[in-house]
Amino acid sequence: MPEYERHAQPAPASRLLKFHAPEIVFGIESMAEAAHAALRLGALRPLLVTDPGLIEAGWVAELVGHLTAQAVDARVWSAVTPNPKDHEIAAGYQYYREHGCDVLIALGGGSVIDAAKGVAILAANGGNILDYAGVDKATMPIPPLVVVPTTSGTGADVSQFCIVTDTARNTKITILGRALVPDITVIDPRVLTTMPEWLNAATGLDALTHGIEAFVSLGHNQLTDHHALRAVAMVTDNLVDTIDRPDEMGARVLMAQASLEAGLAFTNAILGAAHAMSHQVGGLLDLPHGVINGVLLPHVIRFNAESDPAPYATIANCLNLVDARTPAAEAACALADRVEKLAADVGVPRGLGELGVGDDDLPILAVNALQDACMTTNPRPADEKQLEALFRAAM
């Protein structure tokens, strides 16, 4: 057995493992199950959180129709922008209160789902959403939450994460807590067919980053490794196909599954430096999270592999990028190169500079990234100077 395969060996028997996941309904034409789920959770007047694009695409009308058939009177709130802002969460909570809502339903991508989670936090705990940055700061149980993801990558539909933009500081905060795992997630691959191409690429690269970072995370275990590796393989094999043939449902189903499995992996293993860094760039420039991940991930792989290339070599081996005799360091570099090529194939810029990041931004980006919760499970410790150098390498 190659040395780098030791990463995949079971954890010691004395280690206590926990695996958080919602109830999951998966399949084409499954959207109606979201209405049944809401009813089971006691919905009489749920708040349906979504965005204008999904209203235009017709998915909101379809879901409202299913809810109406169950005698559930939904209120629709769609004032959410990409990378949800602190003031938007406050407005959503105000709408929730004014309309006497009970259950929350999120129909959308990661931004919509994070907004719904933010509203749920305030509904149960009050205050300002920024007060809950960190781990388990929201102590009161949130209202029931049903999620219907419309992108294939964010993993927010199964995760214990909520990411919100702090508009005063131009950064993102990470709210982490087991209470944020949705009660029921309904995954209908049909809704992926109306994603814009750029969003399809961005969320797919996000799923890839989730899988890779979860696999190498200090918090990984044999329950998360399986999902992480499967997700990485499915994204690598299918993302380009969904862009070239957007209506082909076979690849869509596999990307929906990749997003799900990557989400199950990272919500239990947590993430690493790529996400800690990406959150800061996204907060600064309000850019698509997955695109930033696509730029940063190859650099983070090379940085972490300098300390321990073994887990990256395992991923490279699973993707058939190398054979079992390839030295681990060389295999890790092959993985970084493959990620870089996939990002280029789906149209991601080659550097942060093309996204609008300037040299003067790098010191504060490094400071903020160091404080992000995702850094705690990055496999290689990093200080402020190292993170600034990483940002510079990605320019």
Q: How many CB atoms lie within 10 A of CB 299?
A: 24
H helix runs in 99-221, sequence order = 110-125, 197-216
Q: Which of the listed residues 192, 208, 224 is the one where a domain comes to its end? A: 192
Residue 191 neighbours by CB under 8 Å, 6+ apart: 31, 59, 148, 149, 150
- Helix, strand, coil percentages in the chain from 3-state DSSP, rounded to 5: 60, 10, 30
Task: Give residue 16's pLDDT band: very low, low, confident or very high (50, 70, 90).
Answer: confident
Q: Is 89 in the same domain as 151?
A: yes
3-state SS class at 322: coil
Question: Rounded to the nearest 10 degrees, what angle do helices 197-216 and 273-285 cross at?
Answer: 150
**Is 13 a member of any domain?**
no
Q: How many CB atoms lie within 10 A of CB 226?
A: 15
**pLDDT greater than 70 at residue 233:** yes
Domain CATH code at residue 164: 3.40.50.1970
Q: Which of the listed residues 192, 221, 236 is the one where a domain comes to its end? A: 192
Q: Is 70 in the same domain as 152?
A: yes
Residue 7, pLDDT score = 52
**Is 3 a member of any domain?**
no
**pLDDT greater than 50 at residue 72:** yes
**Is 351 a member of any domain?**
yes
Task: Give residue 17's pLDDT band: very low, low, confident or very high (50, 70, 90).
Answer: confident
Nearest to residue 101, comparing CAs of 89, 92, 109? Answer: 92
| Structure tokens given for 110 | 């990661």
Residue 1, pLDDT score = 40
Do the Cβ atoms of 176 and 134 come closer than 8 Å?
Answer: yes
As a whole number, mean pLDDT of residues 215-230 equals 96
Single-letter residue type at 56: E
Residue 324, pLDDT score = 87
Q: Is 70 in the same domain as 163?
A: yes
Q: Is 130 in the same domain as 208?
A: no
3-state SS class at 360: helix
Q: Is 125 in the same domain as 229?
A: no
Q: How many CB atoms lie within 10 A of CB 243?
A: 18
Phi first, then psi, for residue 25 (nearest 5°) are -115, 125
Do the Cβ atoms of 343 and 37 come closer than 8 Å?
Answer: no
**Is 127 a member of any domain?**
yes
**pLDDT greater than 80 at residue 121:** yes
Do the Cβ atoms of 183 and 28 come closer than 8 Å?
Answer: no
Nearest to residue 240, comparing CAs of 191, 298, 200, 213? Answer: 200
**Is 144 a member of any domain?**
yes
Q: Which domain holds residue 365?
A: 197-393
Q: Is 158 in the same domain as 222?
A: no
3-state SS class at 7: helix
- Say how many domains are in the chain: 2
Q: Is 355 in the same domain as 308?
A: yes
Count how many Cα atoms sit within 13 Å of the Cα of residue 70 in the half-sphere of its side chain.
22
Q: Is 181 in the same domain as 242?
A: no
- How far from chain centre, in Å, is Cα 92? 21
Q: Is 221 in the same domain as 109?
A: no
Q: How many CB atoms lie within 10 A of CB 9?
A: 10
Structure-token match 């991930």, residue found: 297
**pLDDT greater than 70 at residue 57:** yes
Do the Cβ atoms of 85 and 79 come closer than 8 Å?
Answer: no
Residue 18, pLDDT score = 84
**Is 49 a member of any domain?**
yes
Do the Cβ atoms of 297 and 212 come closer than 8 Å?
Answer: yes
Predicted model pTM: 0.93
**Is 237 a member of any domain?**
yes
Q: Is 345 in the same domain as 382?
A: yes
Q: Is 167 in the same domain as 292?
A: no
Report how far apart, in Å, the C-alpha atoms of 70 and of each of 67, 98, 185 are.
Answer: 5, 23, 18
**Is 8 a member of any domain?**
no
Higher pLDDT, 386 or 17: 386
Domain CATH code at residue 334: 1.20.1090.10
Q: Is 249 in the same domain as 352?
A: yes
What percent of the chain is predicted at pLDDT more than 90?
92
Q: Which of the listed residues 158, 192, 226 is the one where a domain comes to its end? A: 192
